[in-house]
Amino acid sequence: MRQYGQAPAHADEAQGAGVVALVFRAGPLLCALGLDEVIETMRPLETRPLAGTPAFVRGIAVLRGVPTPVIDVSRLLGGGPAEADRYLAVRTERGAIAFATGDILGIRHVEAEATGGHPALLGGGSTRLVAGVGTLGTEPLLLLQSMRAVPDDVWEAAAVNAGELS
Protein backbone atom coordinates (compact mmCIF):
# COMPACT_ATOMS: atom_id res chain seq x y z
CA MET A 1 0.00 0.00 0.00
CA ARG A 2 1.25 3.44 -0.84
CA GLN A 3 1.00 6.24 1.70
CA TYR A 4 0.29 9.81 0.63
CA GLY A 5 0.10 13.06 2.50
CA GLN A 6 3.25 15.05 1.76
CA ALA A 7 3.75 16.95 -1.45
CA PRO A 8 6.54 15.47 -3.56
CA ALA A 9 9.81 17.39 -3.67
CA HIS A 10 9.13 18.47 -7.27
CA ALA A 11 5.79 20.12 -6.39
CA ASP A 12 6.78 23.74 -6.84
CA GLU A 13 4.72 26.26 -4.88
CA ALA A 14 5.58 28.90 -7.48
CA GLN A 15 3.36 27.10 -10.01
CA GLY A 16 0.40 29.24 -9.06
CA ALA A 17 -2.73 29.03 -6.96
CA GLY A 18 -3.78 25.43 -7.15
CA VAL A 19 -3.59 22.25 -5.19
CA VAL A 20 -1.28 19.27 -5.16
CA ALA A 21 -3.64 16.40 -5.90
CA LEU A 22 -3.81 12.70 -6.67
CA VAL A 23 -5.25 12.31 -10.18
CA PHE A 24 -7.27 9.22 -11.05
CA ARG A 25 -9.91 7.82 -13.39
CA ALA A 26 -13.47 7.19 -12.29
CA GLY A 27 -15.10 5.41 -15.22
CA PRO A 28 -15.14 7.92 -18.09
CA LEU A 29 -14.23 10.81 -15.79
CA LEU A 30 -10.86 12.27 -14.84
CA CYS A 31 -10.78 13.30 -11.19
CA ALA A 32 -8.37 14.72 -8.62
CA LEU A 33 -8.41 14.80 -4.86
CA GLY A 34 -6.23 17.08 -2.73
CA LEU A 35 -3.26 15.14 -1.40
CA ASP A 36 -4.04 16.29 2.13
CA GLU A 37 -7.26 14.22 2.00
CA VAL A 38 -5.64 10.99 0.73
CA ILE A 39 -4.48 8.49 3.35
CA GLU A 40 -3.29 5.71 1.02
CA THR A 41 -4.06 3.74 -2.13
CA MET A 42 -4.55 -0.01 -2.27
CA ARG A 43 -5.89 -2.86 -4.36
CA PRO A 44 -9.65 -3.31 -4.02
CA LEU A 45 -10.56 -5.19 -0.85
CA GLU A 46 -13.38 -7.62 -0.18
CA THR A 47 -16.48 -5.43 -0.05
CA ARG A 48 -19.84 -6.49 1.35
CA PRO A 49 -23.05 -4.80 0.20
CA LEU A 50 -24.95 -2.47 2.53
CA ALA A 51 -28.74 -2.70 2.34
CA GLY A 52 -30.68 0.53 2.15
CA THR A 53 -27.86 2.69 0.84
CA PRO A 54 -27.69 4.74 -2.37
CA ALA A 55 -26.54 3.00 -5.58
CA PHE A 56 -23.13 4.72 -5.45
CA VAL A 57 -22.27 2.89 -2.22
CA ARG A 58 -20.52 -0.37 -3.15
CA GLY A 59 -20.72 -1.53 0.45
CA ILE A 60 -18.38 -1.82 3.39
CA ALA A 61 -14.80 -3.09 3.58
CA VAL A 62 -12.35 -3.46 6.45
CA LEU A 63 -9.46 -0.99 6.11
CA ARG A 64 -6.73 -1.41 8.70
CA GLY A 65 -9.19 -3.15 11.03
CA VAL A 66 -11.96 -0.55 10.69
CA PRO A 67 -15.26 -1.15 8.79
CA THR A 68 -15.28 1.57 6.12
CA PRO A 69 -17.91 2.63 3.53
CA VAL A 70 -16.81 2.13 -0.09
CA ILE A 71 -18.00 4.71 -2.63
CA ASP A 72 -18.08 4.08 -6.40
CA VAL A 73 -16.82 7.50 -7.52
CA SER A 74 -17.89 7.03 -11.14
CA ARG A 75 -21.47 6.18 -10.17
CA LEU A 76 -21.56 9.00 -7.60
CA LEU A 77 -20.59 11.54 -10.27
CA GLY A 78 -23.06 10.22 -12.83
CA GLY A 79 -20.60 8.24 -14.97
CA GLY A 80 -22.32 4.94 -14.22
CA PRO A 81 -20.77 1.93 -12.49
CA ALA A 82 -17.14 1.24 -13.31
CA GLU A 83 -14.61 -1.46 -12.59
CA ALA A 84 -12.56 -0.67 -9.49
CA ASP A 85 -8.82 -0.93 -10.12
CA ARG A 86 -7.84 0.81 -6.88
CA TYR A 87 -9.29 1.92 -3.56
CA LEU A 88 -8.31 5.31 -2.14
CA ALA A 89 -8.57 5.64 1.63
CA VAL A 90 -9.73 9.22 2.13
CA ARG A 91 -10.06 11.42 5.22
CA THR A 92 -13.49 12.86 5.98
CA GLU A 93 -14.97 14.72 8.92
CA ARG A 94 -16.52 11.46 10.20
CA GLY A 95 -13.69 9.04 9.52
CA ALA A 96 -12.07 7.32 6.58
CA ILE A 97 -13.97 6.23 3.48
CA ALA A 98 -12.74 4.24 0.51
CA PHE A 99 -13.17 5.61 -2.99
CA ALA A 100 -13.40 2.84 -5.60
CA THR A 101 -11.58 4.25 -8.64
CA GLY A 102 -9.98 3.32 -11.92
CA ASP A 103 -6.31 3.86 -12.70
CA ILE A 104 -4.27 6.24 -10.55
CA LEU A 105 -2.41 8.65 -12.84
CA GLY A 106 -0.15 10.18 -10.20
CA ILE A 107 0.39 13.32 -8.19
CA ARG A 108 -0.05 16.58 -10.10
CA HIS A 109 -0.43 20.28 -9.47
CA VAL A 110 -4.09 20.97 -10.33
CA GLU A 111 -5.75 24.30 -10.98
CA ALA A 112 -9.53 24.31 -11.09
CA GLU A 113 -12.22 26.97 -11.18
CA ALA A 114 -14.68 26.75 -8.30
CA THR A 115 -18.04 25.34 -9.38
CA GLY A 116 -20.01 27.46 -6.95
CA GLY A 117 -22.45 24.55 -6.70
CA HIS A 118 -23.70 25.28 -10.22
CA PRO A 119 -26.77 23.04 -10.71
CA ALA A 120 -26.00 22.45 -14.40
CA LEU A 121 -22.86 20.52 -13.41
CA LEU A 122 -23.42 16.79 -12.95
CA GLY A 123 -27.18 17.10 -12.70
CA GLY A 124 -27.03 19.18 -9.53
CA GLY A 125 -27.03 16.35 -6.99
CA SER A 126 -23.30 15.63 -7.01
CA THR A 127 -22.02 19.19 -7.06
CA ARG A 128 -21.46 19.06 -3.31
CA LEU A 129 -18.56 16.69 -4.01
CA VAL A 130 -17.02 18.77 -6.82
CA ALA A 131 -14.89 21.68 -5.56
CA GLY A 132 -13.78 22.80 -9.00
CA VAL A 133 -13.40 22.01 -12.66
CA GLY A 134 -10.17 22.27 -14.63
CA THR A 135 -8.32 20.46 -17.37
CA LEU A 136 -5.44 18.06 -17.69
CA GLY A 137 -4.15 18.42 -21.22
CA THR A 138 -7.31 18.52 -23.31
CA GLU A 139 -9.45 16.51 -20.89
CA PRO A 140 -11.85 17.99 -18.31
CA LEU A 141 -10.83 17.28 -14.72
CA LEU A 142 -13.07 17.34 -11.63
CA LEU A 143 -11.38 18.44 -8.40
CA LEU A 144 -13.21 16.62 -5.62
CA GLN A 145 -13.74 17.40 -1.96
CA SER A 146 -14.35 14.27 0.07
CA MET A 147 -15.76 15.52 3.35
CA ARG A 148 -19.33 15.63 2.04
CA ALA A 149 -19.18 12.46 -0.04
CA VAL A 150 -20.99 10.16 2.38
CA PRO A 151 -24.58 10.91 3.44
CA ASP A 152 -25.54 10.33 7.09
CA ASP A 153 -27.71 7.30 6.24
CA VAL A 154 -24.65 5.53 4.80
CA TRP A 155 -22.63 6.15 7.99
CA GLU A 156 -25.58 4.82 10.01
CA ALA A 157 -25.86 1.67 7.84
CA ALA A 158 -22.09 1.16 8.11
CA ALA A 159 -22.27 1.41 11.92
CA VAL A 160 -25.11 -1.12 12.08
CA ASN A 161 -23.25 -3.56 9.82
CA ALA A 162 -19.83 -3.05 11.46
CA GLY A 163 -20.54 -5.73 14.06
CA GLU A 164 -21.07 -8.36 11.33
CA LEU A 165 -17.58 -7.75 9.94
CA SER A 166 -15.75 -8.06 13.27
CATH number of the CATH domain containing 102: 2.40.50.180
Position 53 in a domain: yes
Position 116 in a domain: no
Spans of the chain below 70 pLDDT: 1-17, 115-128, 146-151, 161-166
Position 30 in a domain: yes
Per the structure, the count of domains in the chain is 1
pLDDT at 10: 43
The strand pairing partners of 114, in sequence order, are 132
What is the residue range of 142's domain? 19-111+124-165
Position 72 in a domain: yes
List pLDDT tens digits, range 36-84.
999 999 999 999 998 888 888 999 999 999 999 999 999 988 888 889 9
Position 8 in a domain: no
**Strand, coil or helix: what is 80?**
coil
pLDDT at 80: 86
Position 9 in a domain: no
pLDDT at 16: 46
Separation between Cα atoms, residue 110 and residue 102, nearest integer Å: 19
pLDDT at 47: 95
Residue 162: how many other CB atoms lie within 10 Å: 14
Position 2 in a domain: no
